[in-house]
Amino acid sequence: MIHHVFQEQVRAQPEAVAADFHGATLSYQQLDRRANQVAQVLRANGAGPDRCVAICSGRRLEFIVGLLGILKAGAAYVPLDPDYPVERLGFMLEDCQPVAVLTWPEHHARIQTLVRNTPVIALDDPRFDAAPIDVPDVPGLGSQHLAYVMYTSGSTGQPKGVMVEHRNVLRLAINNGFASLGPSDVVAHCANPAFDAATWEIWGALLVGARVQVVAEQVALDPVALDQALRAAGVTALWLTAGLFNAHADALTDAFAGLRYLLVGGDVLDPDRIGRVLAQSTPPQHLLNGYGPTESTTFASTHLIEQVEPGRSIPIGRPIGNTQIHLLAPDGQPVLPGVIGEVYIGGDGVARGYLNQPELSAERFLADPYRDDPSARLYRSGDLARWLDDGTLEFIGRTDFQLKLRGYRIEPGEIETHLRTCAGVREAVVIAREDTPGDKRLVAYVLAEGQSPPAPELLRAHLAQKLADYMLPSAFVTVPHWPLTSNGKLDRRALPAPDIAAVVAGRYEAPVG
């Protein structure tokens, strides 16, 4: 289990720094003992195997203490972004039914209004300091039990919780085949804690004796500030969304110098920017393209980028350790090299399924016919790819209209569902446009009820009450009718580019790590 592997590092190097934030540090032994105290309090509040404990605190050392404490209590953590709208947070809390919620004092009152008869405990609560420093006993806990539930965008208008087990995380962090980290490494934690990249940033470091360098959000979004922070902390491993990578590559002439590992993903990479970084005087030792949905525990494949070939996209590589990828035709048969097929992911990283959604789980998590283990499953990703001649994978697109934007997976259907509830909207379609190369944005198209279409500002304000910032379209375009293809289907490619009047002031632009 995750905390058992962590315990090995505590015994090996108790005084080594496990985590650092703004110069405040926790050694492996300090982190271990504080997490034990959290676990003791949570056990007294009913935490145990396959029970959920939500945590809503933002990026800080106490967040890492809370995660480890939840696992030591035998429970699964549910990371929540405190900046989410109240309605979205409320749905997640109702869906996961936590036995307790850990939070930071500034968020305590807000969270308390969303749960009934559920303890909401601040991470600086004096009960933790008074609790025993020994790890509580959790009978029957095994690697098949849940480690966390992470919510992603859902096509029905509500997010869906992906259930990830301990064994899934161990496959990501230990002998993963793409990054050989150890006690001398410093891994930056730049990702939103409610985003699955944080899984690798935190456990990929702590389970091998490395240090987690927590990076504040405002620093992660500022190329100059992040560069200074990385150099000052001696960071050796970093994960960034493609959008953040682009911003930093554009702003700095020697970006990412000194890194052993730089992983980029969450969207299609721009070969020109990748080429510029590789051509720097001190490029990262290992620059990798990382691919994988939350359902495959952060990464399913990676590609070590050593050169950029003109006119070629950058592959998503080969499966990581203990992972299999199959490209299948619509009839379920494997496709030949060079032929596009749907990506099916197998191996130890495949999540258990979706919380409280057995039908959707059965649709997406299938029996694995390529393994003898009857419990083995394949995750049907909905992504399209093809095998190249060198045995690497090239990402092609989606079988549906799901999007990846700024590292976040977005179901346009969720945004469309909420748009249709806005006064004056009859129908809605949301797409991603890239009218300027490397600048992909969400654009919403609406058919109005009556003669007076709702203003873009009103549409955005309506969505802001229900959706996370990264799901808010940058522009809203009212159209008189949908453009159709020759067979009568909506022709998304014929939807018009937004003009200046359609762009909403104050729109969300900054990529989130």
pLDDT of res. 510: 38
Work out the angle at residue 67's Cα, subtended by the Cα atoms of residues 64 and 73, and round it to the nearest 5 degrees.
140
With respect to residue 148, please indicate whether it lies within any of the assigned structural domains: no
With respect to residue 150, please indicate whether it lies within any of the assigned structural domains: no
As a whole-number percent, the residues of the chain with pLDDT over 90 amount to 81
**Which ranges of 45-153 would DSSP assign to H, the alpha helix?**
61-72, 86-96, 105-112, 126-130
Q: Counting Cβ atoms within 10 Å, is residue 144 exposed (0-12), middle (13-18) or buried (19+)?
A: middle
Cα 363 to Cα 300: distance, rounded to the nearest angstrom: 20
Output the DSSP codes for 219-253.
HHT-HHHHHHHHHHHT--EEEEEHHHHHHHHHH-T
Cα 403 to Cα 220: distance, rounded to the nearest angstrom: 23
> How is residue 349 annotated by DSSP?
T
pLDDT of res. 234: 98
- Tell me the residue type at 49: P
Q: Which of 133, 151, 182 is the last residue of a domain?
A: 133
What is the number of structural domains in the chain? 2
HEC letters along 128-139? HHHCCCCCCCCC
Sheet containing 120-122, strands listed edge to edge, beginning at the edge strand earlier in sequence? 120-122, 100-103, 52-56, 76-79, 146-152, 160-165, 353-354
Give the mean pLDDT of the chain: 93
- Residue 358 sits at φ, ψ, to 5 deg, of -65, -35
With respect to residue 184, please indicate whether it lies within any of the assigned structural domains: no
pLDDT of res. 236: 99
With respect to residue 453, please indicate whether it lies within any of the assigned structural domains: yes
Q: Cα separations (Å) of 239 from 198, 218, 408?
A: 9, 16, 14
With respect to residue 448, please indicate whether it lies within any of the assigned structural domains: yes
With respect to residue 287, please indicate whether it lies within any of the assigned structural domains: no
pLDDT of res. 511: 37
Q: How confident is the model at residue 65 (pLDDT cuts 50, 70, 90)?
A: very high
Q: Which of 133, 149, 172 is the last residue of a domain?
A: 133
**What's the pLDDT tens digit per position in 136-186?**
999 999 999 999 999 998 777 789 999 999 999 999 999 999 999 999 999
pLDDT of res. 317: 98
HEC letters along 272-283? HHHHHHHCCCCC
SS3 call for 478: strand
**What's the pLDDT tens digit per position in 393-420?**
999 988 888 888 888 888 888 899 899 8
Predicted TM-score of the model (pTM)? 0.88
For the chain, state the CA radius of gyration: 23
pLDDT of res. 489: 72
With respect to residue 201, please indicate whether it lies within any of the assigned structural domains: no
Could you tell me the residue range of the domain that residue 35 belongs to?
1-8+24-133
* C-beta atoms surrounding 139 within 10 Å: 7
With respect to residue 162, please indicate whether it lies within any of the assigned structural domains: no
* C-beta atoms surrounding 256 within 10 Å: 23
User: Among residues 258, 241, 266, which one has the least CA distance to residue 190?
Assistant: 241
Q: Which of 99, 133, 167 is the last residue of a domain?
A: 133
pLDDT of res. 451: 81
As a whole-number percent, the residues of the chain with pLDDT over 70 amount to 97
**What's the pLDDT tens digit per position in 248-289?**
999 998 989 989 999 999 888 989 899 999 999 999 999 999
- Torsion sign across C-alpha atoms 444, 448, 453, 459: negative
Residue 370 has pLDDT above 80, yes or no: yes
The CATH number of residue 494's host domain is 3.30.300.30
Residue 302 has pLDDT above 60, yes or no: yes
